[in-house]
Amino acid sequence: MRVSEFSTDGLPAHDRLPGWIESVERSLTPSRVQSEQNDFRGWVRTVELDNVQVSTMAYPPLIVRRSAQHIRRSDPEAYQVNLILSGQGWTAQAGREAVISAGEFVLFDTSRTFEGRRICAPDTACGIVVEIPRALLPLPPTMVSLLVGASFSGRQGIGAMFRRWLTNLDRHATEFTAADEPSLSSITVELLVAVLSHQLDDAGATSPESHRRVLRVRVRDYVEQRLSDPNLSPTAIAAAHQISLRHLYQIFDDEDVTLSAWIRRQRLENCRRDLADPRLASRPVHAIASRWGFTDAAHFSRAFRNAYDMPPSVYRRLTLTDQPMQRSTSTVHK
């Protein structure tokens, strides 16, 4: 997976802000950045997921402006989602102003002028910026325009799911491979669509398909938090969401695998990662399997062999001693 990092540490004071801006603009839409901080210090880490860019950054107080001249010079026709992790900010776009604090998002359109200020004195602020081409969002631009420049919470509900996803994506970026990029990109886009659909739903502007996307995201989040439960099943999931089993299957009917197969795949992937983790080398294979909902050791061994073409014990031995082997078997392929 393509991960790039930049830090102002070690640079002369006069090179820090220009260097930081240059690094940010390699992945995000150019804009004018100003800081009154004489001793500017910051860093940025960018994860590239096909056409989706996810940048986590730290910085002192800033003023950011994107002018009509910037747009004429360069417009990727994308949406930007800014998540504030620490500090506060003020933004303005499309006639809307928003005051945002830690745990909140704001949506920008790169084809429109905007202005933003980050307030974090005396500390450094942190945030995550996601840039997604507008063409990737299956929502009408006229609907999304209702949310441009507006803020929404990342502390509860769908917004909290999206926040957790972005912070975990950054935290575990080096554990993924290039083969994981399409799936990670797709999940990122789908979560954003769910968040925007939820906001539009509050305004009475969503379609049945948008409701379906939101429900699918909620089900996936519910499942991912309960993979260790051996009693997790489609019936239990449907009951928890107060929908029929038939309705549950319908919201996943355009996926490439059934819901039960997807649950099994997620469990196996978690087992695979644990088996490849040197910190868990002393933990028995059956304990790892049990941790992720497999109560029958023989069943787990068969499922793992079917997915990765080798027993779990062999996979562990090879991956802990042979890094290329670990990279080549990083995803379920059956």
CATH code of the domain containing 240: 1.10.10.60
Q: Is the same domain home to 303 and 164?
A: no
Q: Is the same domain home to 54 and 185?
A: yes
Asked if residue 10 lies in contact with residue 53, where contact means CB atoms within 8 angstroms, the answer is no
DSSP state of 101: E
Last residue of a domain, one of 224, 243, 270: 224
Residue 38 lies in a domain: yes
Burial class from Cβ neighbours inside 10 Å (0-12, 13-18, 19+) for residue 22 reads: exposed
At 252, is the pLDDT very low, low, confident or very high (cuts 50, 70, 90)? confident
At 333, is the pLDDT very low, low, confident or very high (cuts 50, 70, 90)? very low
Q: Is the same domain home to 159 and 287?
A: no
Q: Which domain holds residue 251?
A: 234-328
Domain count, the chain: 2
Question: Which pLDDT score, from 0 to 100, does residue 207 have?
Answer: 58
Q: Is the same domain home to 143 and 287?
A: no
Q: Is the same domain home to 148 and 285?
A: no
Question: Which pLDDT score, from 0 to 100, does residue 218 have?
Answer: 78
At 271, is the pLDDT very low, low, confident or very high (cuts 50, 70, 90)? very high
Query: pTM (2 decimals)?
Result: 0.66
Last residue of a domain, one of 173, 196, 224: 224
What sign does the dihedral 304-306-307-312 (CA atoms) show?
positive
- Give the closest residue to 259 by CA, choosing from 295, 302, 195, 215: 215
19-61, pLDDT tens digit by residue? 999 999 988 999 999 988 878 999 999 999 989 999 999 999 8
Burial class from Cβ neighbours inside 10 Å (0-12, 13-18, 19+) for residue 207 reads: middle
Residue 127 lies in a domain: yes
State both tokens at 179.
């083969």
Beta strands in the chain (DSSP E): 2-7, 32-34, 43-49, 52-59, 62-66, 78-86, 88-93, 96-101, 104-109, 114-119, 125-133, 151-153
Distance CA 171, CA 29 (A): 23
Mean pLDDT over all residues of the chain?
Answer: 88
User: Which tops the pLDDT comparison, 214 or 290?
Assistant: 290
Asked if residue 113 lies in contact with residue 92, where contact means CB atoms within 8 angstroms, the answer is no
Distance CA 82, CA 99 (A): 12
Residue 229 lies in a domain: no
Q: Does 313 have pLDDT greater than 60?
A: yes
Residue 77 lies in a domain: yes
Distance CA 94, CA 175 (A): 39
Question: Which pLDDT score, from 0 to 100, does residue 327 have?
Answer: 39
Largest CA distance in the chain: 64
User: Which tops the pLDDT comparison, 119 or 4?
Assistant: 4
| 48 residue type, one letter | E
Q: Does 329 have pLDDT greater than 80?
A: no
Residue 303 lies in a domain: yes
Question: Which pLDDT score, from 0 to 100, does residue 328 have?
Answer: 38
Asked if residue 227 lies in contact with residue 264, where contact means CB atoms within 8 angstroms, the answer is no
160-183, pLDDT tens digit by residue? 999 999 999 999 998 888 888 998
Question: Which pLDDT score, from 0 to 100, does residue 209 have?
Answer: 66
Q: Is the same domain home to 262 and 121?
A: no
Q: Is the same domain home to 68 and 208?
A: yes
Contacts of 74 (CB under 8 A, 6+ apart): 29, 30
Share of the chain above pLDDT 90, in %: 66
CATH number at residue 126: 2.60.120.10
Contacts of 287 (CB under 8 A, 6+ apart): none
What sign does the dihedral 220-199-93-106 (CA atoms) show?
negative
Q: Does 254 have pLDDT greater than 90?
A: no
Question: Which pLDDT score, from 0 to 100, does residue 38 have?
Answer: 78
Residue 333 lies in a domain: no
Side-chain half-sphere CA neighbours of 48 within 13 A? 12
What would the mean pLDDT of 2-24 be, rounded to a whole number? 92
Q: Is the same domain home to 201 and 254?
A: no
209-220, pLDDT tens digit by residue? 666 777 887 788
User: Which tops the pLDDT comparison, 35 or 332?
Assistant: 35
What would the mean pLDDT of 252-267 be, rounded to a whole number? 88
> Quick one: CA torsion of 172, 178, 183, 185, rounded to 10 degrees?
80
Q: Is the same domain home to 92 and 184?
A: yes
Q: What is the 3-state secondary structure (H, E, C) of 264-321?
A: HHHHHHHHHHHHCCHHHCCCCHHHHHHHCCCCCHHHHHHHHHHHHCCCHHHHHHHHHH
Give strand pairing partners of 57.
44, 127
315-327, pLDDT tens digit by residue? 999 988 864 444 3
| 297 residue type, one letter | A
